[in-house]
Amino acid sequence: MSEVLPLRFRRLDSDTLLFADEAGRFFTGDPDLAIRLVEGRLSERDKDYLKSRGMVIDCEDVNETAFLHTLARRMEPPAELSYVILVPTLRCDLSCAYCQVSRAAKNASGYDWDETTLASAIDYLDKNGGKTIQIEFQGGEPSLRMDLIERVAQFARQRFEKPRFVICTNLSNLDNDLRAFIEQEDVSISTSLDGPIWLHQKQRTETELITNAFLRNLREACRLAPGRVHALPTLDVDALPSPNELLDAFDEFGLRSIYLRPVTYHGFARKRHPTSVAYDPRWAAFYERVIEEIINRNQDAKDEPWEEFYLSHLLKRLMRPGENSHADLRSPNWLAYDHQVIDFNGQIYPTDEARMLARSGLIDLSVGHVNSGIDDERRRSLQSNAFNAFDPWCSRCPYQAACGIDPIDDIARHGFVGAPKPSTTFCQRHLHLFDLAMKLLNSPDSAVRGSLSKWLSLPASVDLGRRYV
């Protein structure tokens, strides 16, 4: 026996409706198809198309059963720690106006791991990690304690199979210890580049001397670690550069991947950028202009194509249902299972944002300490909002399967979990991004199709939009 699966709809424009099932499979078509479906007037051609898209279930189809089993496995919390953020020091040598972490001054005391915390952190990773792991060093400025970083890396290379490391550094300094570390093939560098130099200096480095040091160090880091340096801008909607200014700044260093993000409502930004609590329509318009410029530049790109990381990730989730690996966009979003943060004082948090809330004195969402391990009761208390499938708004949204949920962000911005989804910044941002992604997928423009095929590693001839006519 076969029957059409429940479908969700979203109008993209007057002539186009998005159809999606609970597994995230989708296509676009004429709104009249929805009317025929609701009224039980599907033609044989309609039924054949829905079956070809996997939206007609056959209880005896082993492939369908296997697919549903794969989805069901996502409901099981991960058993092993695979991604951990370590904060060996909270001290920093800069004082960025939008700092998310409420860092401590460079010369402050009591904000670094001591020997006991280091030993406990290593023991914790040893007991809770699986075969592989990615370790991200944050701060503060983690390079102020390269001695601690090296000892963690030495342990990880012996304990795990092909561990990966990311050091998040402001690159105000590039001494011999940091140089030696980033030259190693298993290390990537994450830094900030806020667009044109005048803007970067205004928001981060403040003086020409520090700015010039950063530029030298960024250029040298790109030479020492080719293909392993990633920069991202943090942008104030009240001081946005032009898309060309922004991309030219990245192009100067051979950086072709960019992760666009506005100032987030954490740390010092809560006081210095209070309007960042809401999703600003000006950001949406700016974002689209940057994407348009990226696509234009890709027409003439003879080497590595330009990419906006987050949009590329969303496109992959739309085209590959079931992909659920990115910590910023998951459902179920199992908090403090496979992804954890170990702070400078040994406290364990489910996300970096949860750590920031604690630093701001708003709420303690820690789930344990490296000396005592995970507090299962506290961790379980976070999981009641780990699923978007059961939210009354999300359950009717065609993007639900590709989207995620972020209760920590809801707490930070709205003060509680459970605000109506359409009113949340998370929902507004992702509805805009998914609509934009769908618009691009359905575009007949060869330049658009060229960029998308590169981001998705698909031939340009593939029917990305999946339009039913």
- Residue ending a domain, choose from 272, 303, 319: 319
In this structure, the answer to whether residues 38 and 89 fall within a common structural domain is no
Instruction: Give the pLDDT mean for 262-266.
Output: 85
- What pLDDT, on a 0 to 100 scale, did the predictor assign at position 254? 95
Instruction: With a cut of 60, say whether residue 70 has pLDDT above it.
Output: no
- What pLDDT, on a 0 to 100 scale, did the predictor assign at position 391? 86
C-alpha distances in angstroms, 305 versus 12, 241, 250?
A: 28, 22, 13
Per the model's pLDDT, the better-predicted residue between 385 and 116 turns out to be: 116
Q: Tens digit of pLDDT for each residue in 203-227?
A: 999 999 999 999 999 999 999 999 9
- Report whether 292 contacts 440 (CB < 8 A): no
Per the model's pLDDT, the better-predicted residue between 54 and 27 turns out to be: 27
Per the model's pLDDT, the better-predicted residue between 297 and 269 turns out to be: 297
In this structure, the answer to whether residues 53 and 129 fall within a common structural domain is no
Beta strands in 390-443 (DSSP E): none
- Report whether 168 contacts 136 (CB < 8 A): yes
Q: Is residue 330 in some structural domain?
A: no
Residue 328: strand, helix, or coil: coil
- What pLDDT, on a 0 to 100 scale, did the predictor assign at position 151? 98
Q: Give 38's contacts (C-beta < 8 A, 6+ positions apart).
A: none
How would residue 410 be classed by pLDDT, with cut points 50, 70 and 90? confident
Query: Which amino acid, 422?
Result: P
In this structure, the answer to whether residues 3 and 134 fall within a common structural domain is no
Q: Is residue 302 in some structural domain?
A: yes
Domains in the chain, number: 2
- What pLDDT, on a 0 to 100 scale, did the predictor assign at position 103? 81
Beta strands in 240-375 (DSSP E): 257-258, 261-262, 307-308, 339-342, 347-349, 368-369, 373-374
As a whole number of angstroms, the distance between CA 314 and CA 330 comes to 11
**DSSP line for 198-225:** HHHIIIII-SHHHHHHHHHHHHHHHHHS
In this structure, the answer to whether residues 129 and 200 fall within a common structural domain is yes
C-alpha distances in angstroms, 454 versus 295, 370, 419, 441?
A: 11, 43, 38, 13
**What is the domain extent for residue 7?**
1-73
Q: Is residue 448 in some structural domain?
A: no
- What pLDDT, on a 0 to 100 scale, did the predictor assign at position 111? 96
Instruction: Give the pLDDT mean for 356-369.
Output: 90
How would residue 330 be classed by pLDDT, with cut points 50, 70 and 90? confident
Q: Tens digit of pLDDT for each residue in 153-171?
A: 999 999 999 999 999 999 9
- What pLDDT, on a 0 to 100 scale, did the predictor assign at position 2? 67
Q: At what angle do helices 44-52 and 31-38 cross, to 10 degrees?
A: 110
- What pLDDT, on a 0 to 100 scale, did the predictor assign at position 272? 80
Instruction: With a cut of 70, say whether residue 88 has pLDDT above it.
Output: yes
In this structure, the answer to whether residues 229 and 152 fall within a common structural domain is yes
In this structure, the answer to whether residues 266 and 173 fall within a common structural domain is yes
As a whole number of angstroms, the distance between CA 8 and CA 393 comes to 12
- What pLDDT, on a 0 to 100 scale, did the predictor assign at position 322? 62
Instruction: Give the pLDDT mean for 135-140.
Output: 96
Instruction: With a cut of 90, say whether residue 81 has pLDDT above it.
Output: yes
For all residues of the chain together, what is the average pLDDT? 90
- What pLDDT, on a 0 to 100 scale, did the predictor assign at position 120? 98
Half-sphere exposure of 144 (CA within 13 A, CB side): 26
Instruction: With a cut of 90, say whether residue 452 has pLDDT above it.
Output: yes
**DSSP line for 241-264:** PPHHHHHHHHHTTT--EE--EEPP
- What pLDDT, on a 0 to 100 scale, did the predictor assign at position 63? 53
Looking only at the bridges linking them, the beta strands covering 307-308 and 339-342 are: unpaired
- Residue ending a domain, choose from 276, 297, 319: 319
- Report whether 258 contacts 233 (CB < 8 A): yes
Q: Is residue 413 in some structural domain?
A: no
Q: What percent of the chain has pLDDT over 70?
A: 94
- What pLDDT, on a 0 to 100 scale, did the predictor assign at position 25? 86
How would residue 173 be classed by pLDDT, with cut points 50, 70 and 90? very high
Q: What percent of the chain has pLDDT over 90?
A: 65
| CATH number of the domain bearing residue 145 | 3.20.20.70
As a whole number of angstroms, the distance between CA 125 and CA 324 comes to 23
In this structure, the answer to whether residues 121 and 59 fall within a common structural domain is no
Per the model's pLDDT, the better-predicted residue between 331 and 43 turns out to be: 43
Helical H segments across 100-145, by residue range = 115-128
Q: Tens digit of pLDDT for each residue in 105-137?
A: 999 999 999 999 999 999 999 999 999 999 999
Q: Tens digit of pLDDT for each residue in 195-205?
A: 999 999 999 99
Tokens 């697919």, located at residue: 67
Q: Give 363's contacts (C-beta < 8 A, 6+ positions apart).
A: 357, 411
In this structure, the answer to whether residues 283 and 147 fall within a common structural domain is yes
Q: Is residue 402 in some structural domain?
A: no
Handedness of CA 406, 408, 414, 418 (dihedral sign): positive
In this structure, the answer to whether residues 92 and 233 fall within a common structural domain is yes
In this structure, the answer to whether residues 100 and 211 fall within a common structural domain is yes
How would residue 415 be classed by pLDDT, with cut points 50, 70 and 90? confident
- Residue ending a domain, choose from 73, 100, 115: 73
- List % helix, strand, coil for the chain (3-state, nearest 5): 45, 15, 40
Q: Is residue 240 in some structural domain?
A: yes
In this structure, the answer to whether residues 288 and 312 fall within a common structural domain is yes
Instruction: With a cut of 90, say whether residue 17 has pLDDT above it.
Output: yes
Q: Give 447's contacts (C-beta < 8 A, 6+ positions apart).
A: 295, 296, 298, 299
Q: Which of 426, 430, 428 is CA-nearest to residue 385?
A: 426
Instruction: Give the pLDDT mean for 85-111.
Output: 89
Neighbours of 452 (CB within 10 A): 24
In this structure, the answer to whether residues 190 and 231 fall within a common structural domain is yes
Q: Is residue 428 in some structural domain?
A: no
Q: Is residue 395 in some structural domain?
A: no
